[in-house]
Structure 1
Amino acid sequence: NTLGWKKLFDIVLGVAQGIDYLHQGCDMQILHFDIKPHNILLDENFNPKVSDFGLAKLYSVDDNIVSLTAARGTIGYIAPELVYKNLGGISYKADVYSFGMLVLEMVGRRKNLNAFANHTSQIYFPSWIYDRLDQGEDMELGDISDDEKVMIRKMIITAFWCIQLLPSDRPSMNKVLKMLESNVELLEMPPKPFHQLPLETSTDIHSCENSN
């Protein structure tokens, strides 16, 4: 059965709380580096839990920038700075990016990249939904109430901030929580953040997912 929007919003909020705890709630900073749908487990009450720490790394809480010998993550969720070194240093903002891509897939109830979409404009869902939201057009998410529209708008705008190209433009997970819990009218639409990794990089990233 399809989850209702309120339940979906609660799951997004719970995942954000979980990642924020990893980043700030322990003696060491835990960077997951593989936030994606398969690594979010739900209990019988649909409470989410971040799982699979196979690619995770521990760092001092004082480390704003961390070092990695190779990119790690999953295509579609991996932060661009893990591949393109000129975008800025690697930090907890990599998990923020992955969270944003996860949220957009949850809202769209589909993969962000769909080569078999009915229209060319819909192939890359984040770009399509950004344009619809920015222009005040119907997001084609079915019959939804006004309260549900508010929750959806919060999730989408927050996710767009999370997937900004430059890590410095993304919020912390603590700020993400505040955005999700704030008045939607106070949320500013971010610049259109989109960029797609060249296809030739995909093999490299997959090959190093499990190399560290």
Structure 2
Amino acid sequence: MLGPTRYTYTEIIAITAHFRDKLGQGGYGSVYKGVVLPGNVHLAVKMLNGNSNCNGEDFINEVSTIGRIHHVNVVRLVGFCSEEMTRALVYEYMPRGSLDKYIFSSEKSFSWDKLNEIALGIARGINYLHQGCEMQILHFDLKPHNILLDDNFVPKVADFGLAKLYPRDKSFVPVSAARGTVGYIAPEMISRSFGVISSKSDVYSFGMLLLEMAGGRKNADPNAANSSQAYYPSRVYRQLTRQETCEISSEIVDMHELEKKLCIVGLWCIQMRSCDRPTMSEVIEMLEGGTDNLQVPPRPFFCDDEEFIEVEPYHPSSDLTAISEEEQEASEDDDDDSIRLFRNYQ
């Protein structure tokens, strides 16, 4: 229990029955279902692509660190393989699959109470990666596909990968470490004008995930009839602030209290500047509380064509998201170009 088990490649072949049952494939490799005897323990084996950034020793060191993490809302890494150019990660198997197939289903899979419970579990898992370990672990690729569910639909943050371990005393993360998926990437990943890359970048991605859970649809819909319906965060903001037509505004009356909570918290999380977003611990407090004390956040610039307006941060900036005066002055010169770039990228 002190760390993950090291497997040989021959053992990986045996566990996966010669890679017979493929569960999925992503940018970092393919995932196969496996079984370990005795005990008939089911596992998920992720074979990493050969273009891994770290060498063998770095891989083993980082895997050993991640393998000691135990949290109910984080998928447990139980083993690994590192032989020459072969890299594999062995995780506990999640029988219910990923969250995306439930929230994007044509039929409503979960009640609002269950959705709120799942959102809280995800938030607690992310907060543990940020605050509960000796080294903070930044995910950089939070999305419904990377949230797995166990037999009881308990959510677990998955695919938190490698090369994202940072000492707590580091004030920011190098740009070269950033990654992500279009639609969930924080704006500071595109331009430092919005702030530094940090744990707040995960907060942004989580906010997008929350809005998709509330809407039961992807945030961006290229097939929508008009632009006001194409981007869900923009639409829900107008609903919450009663800026739509009377017909749309009437939907606010029918909005479930927990749906409203998920939307408001999600909109706080996707504020453009990292310093305006809550921390994950503050997100947990908001999700645990009611909606009476939740205020709709300032309008994100993407809601219309008006220029971006400076807003007061949700809370005082921490060292993790602090920006020097020189950086701030330099970034302000590039704000207009950055906003256009981010809009095009999203």
Q: TM-score range by the shorter chain?
A: 0.7 to 0.9
Look up the match of 2:297. Answer: 190
Residue type matched to 1:47 in 2? V
Q: Deviations over 1:157-185 (max 9, x none)?
A: 11111000000000000000001112311
Q: Deviations over 1:68-124 (max 9, x none)?
A: 326410000000001112111111000000000001011111110101123431100
Q: CA deviation at 1:151?
A: 1.0
2:174 to 48, 67, 71: 67
| Pair 167,32 (structure 1): closer, same or farther in 2 beyond 3 Å | same
TM-score normalised according to structure 2 size: 0.53
Residue type matched to 1:23 in 2? H
Greater mean deviation of Cα atoms: 75-84 or 61-70: 61-70
Look up the match of 1:35. Answer: 142
SS at match of 1:154: helix
What CA distance in whole angstroms lies between the structure 2 residues aligned with 1:194 and 1:125?
A: 14
Q: Does structure 1 residue 23 correspond to structure 2 residue 130?
A: yes
User: Identity of aligned pairs, percent?
Assistant: 53
What CA distance in whole angstroms lies between the structure 1 residues aligned with 2:238 and 2:120?
A: 24
SS at match of 1:69: helix
Is the contact between residue 257 and residue 291 of structure 2 (CA under 8 Å) also seen in structure 1?
Answer: yes
Look up the match of 2:241. Answer: 134
Q: Does structure 1 residue 124 correspond to structure 2 residue 231?
A: yes
Look up the match of 1:151. Answer: 258
What CA distance in whole angstroms lies between the structure 2 residues aligned with 1:32 and 1:48?
A: 16
SS at match of 2:264: helix
Look up the match of 1:78. Answer: 185
Look up the match of 1:98. Answer: 205
What CA distance in whole angstroms lies between the structure 2 residues aligned with 1:27 and 1:198?
A: 36
Residue type matched to 2:192 in 1? K
Q: Which has the greater radius of gyration?
A: 2
More helix by share: 1
SS at match of 1:77: coil
SS at match of 2:240: helix
Q: CA deviation at 1:198?
A: 4.0
Is the contact between residue 154 and residue 184 of structure 1 (CA under 8 Å) also seen in structure 2?
Answer: yes
Residue type matched to 1:153 in 2? K
Residue type matched to 1:98 in 2? S
What CA distance in whole angstroms lies between the structure 1 residues aligned with 2:223 and 2:251?
A: 19
Give the 5 Å matches for 1:2-21.
2-21=109-128
Q: Does structure 1 residue 181 correspond to structure 2 residue 272?
A: no
Structure 1 unaligned residues grouped into runs of 5+: 203-212
| Pair 55,120 (structure 1): closer, same or farther in 2 beyond 3 Å | farther
| Pair 56,32 (structure 1): closer, same or farther in 2 beyond 3 Å | farther
| Pair 27,138 (structure 1): closer, same or farther in 2 beyond 3 Å | farther
What CA distance in whole angstroms lies between the structure 1 residues aligned with 2:168 and 2:220?
A: 34
Greater mean deviation of Cα atoms: 167-176 or 150-159: 150-159
Is the contact between residue 35 and residue 99 of structure 1 (CA under 8 Å) also seen in structure 2?
Answer: yes
More strand by share: 2
Q: CA deviation at 1:154?
A: 1.1
Residue type matched to 1:49 in 2? K
| Pair 34,78 (structure 1): closer, same or farther in 2 beyond 3 Å | same
Q: CA deviation at 1:140?
A: 7.6
Is the contact between residue 33 and residue 55 of structure 1 (CA under 8 Å) also seen in structure 2?
Answer: no
Q: Deviations over 1:176-205 (max 9, x none)?
A: 000111231111110111438343x47xxx
TM-score normalised according to structure 1 size: 0.85
| Pair 43,70 (structure 1): closer, same or farther in 2 beyond 3 Å | closer
Structure 2 unaligned residues grouped into runs of 5+: 1-106, 244-248, 303-338
Is the contact between residue 143 and residue 206 of structure 2 (CA under 8 Å) also seen in structure 1?
Answer: yes
What CA distance in whole angstroms lies between the structure 2 residues aligned with 1:54 and 1:61?
A: 18
Is the contact between residue 18 and residue 49 of structure 1 (CA under 8 Å) also seen in structure 2?
Answer: yes
